[in-house]
């Protein structure tokens, strides 16, 4: 079974491939691998207010472009003290334009820390959320969701991961997601939970 991964993020590609590596007979393709070049239309694929709608939008776009069974995820950070923000705006939380990659991650993290100000740690509760959507394997949309709870630190810790990981503190392990070994992170993370759920759904389908 071939499954196209609808993301331009090399970090997501690596993580999702690792999570799905145990799925027998599944080959995960990425957009560069099939030679699908970036198009400006992709900037407008996440206009919705829920993770599921945005994931569906991306899966639908790339499935229509390629004809391949396609999985897309939308994920983000919900901070309780900020009313659930940044949520679906996690990738573009900071009020800046023209940034990408690690520089954009840093701008988003700086803005998050600024918004939380001097709020004490126990009130910095948050959750990472991931929703994965598959189109093209059956007539029905397949949906899987994962969530991971934590606290937002005022200072970064760790050099691994990406996005908000250096600030996302896992209280039970007393480590941030950026300090975890990739195998640990994939076990605990929102994306790991969502894609393992998806893995189970695919295994039951026996396509």
| Rounded Cα–Cα distance for residues 36 and 63 (Å) | 12
Q: What pLDDT, on the 0 to 100 scale, is given for residue 207? A: 57
Bridge partner residues of 135 (DSSP): 70
pLDDT in tens, 125-163: 999 999 999 999 998 999 999 999 999 999 999 999 899
Mean pLDDT score of the chain = 94
Is residue 91 a contact partner of residue 111, using CB atoms and an 8 Å limit?
no
- The answer to whether residue 74 is catalytic is yes
Model pTM score = 0.92
Give the three-class secondary structure for 123.
Answer: helix
Which one from 74, 139, 165, 183 is the annotated catalytic residue? Answer: 74
Position of tokens 């996690």?
A: 90
Is residue 165 a contact partner of residue 146, using CB atoms and an 8 Å limit?
no
CB atoms within 10 A of CB 174: 8
Q: What pLDDT, on the 0 to 100 scale, is given for residue 202? A: 85
pLDDT in tens, 32-46: 999 999 999 999 999
Q: Which fold has domain 2-205?
A: Maf protein (3.90.950)
């Amino acid at each position: 079974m071939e499954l196209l991964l609808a993301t331009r993020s090399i970090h997501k590609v690596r993580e999702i491939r690792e999570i799905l590596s145990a799925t027998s007979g599944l080959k995960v393709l990425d957009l560069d691998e099939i030679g699908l070049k970036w198009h400006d239309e992709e900037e407008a694929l996440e206009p919705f207010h829920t993770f599921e709608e945005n994931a569906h939008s991306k899966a639908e776009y790339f499935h229509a472009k390629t004809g391949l069974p396609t999985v897309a995820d939308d994920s983000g950070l919900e901070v309780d003290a900020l009313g659930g923000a940044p949520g679906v705006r996690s990738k573009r939380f900071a009020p800046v334009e023209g940034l990408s990659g690690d520089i954009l991650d840093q701008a988003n993290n700086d803005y998050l820390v600024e918004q939380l100000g001097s709020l004490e740690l126990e009130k910095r509760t948050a959750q990472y959320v991931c929703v994965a959507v598959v189109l093209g394997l059956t007539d029905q949309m397949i949906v899987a969701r994962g969530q991971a709870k934590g606290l937002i630190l005022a200072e970064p810790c760790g050099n691994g991961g990406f996005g908000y990981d250096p600030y996302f503190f896992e209280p039970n392990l007393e480590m941030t997601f950026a300090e975890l070994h990739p195998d640990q992170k994939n076990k605990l993370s929102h994306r790991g939970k969502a894609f393992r759920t998806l893995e189970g759904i695919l295994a039951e389908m026996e396509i």
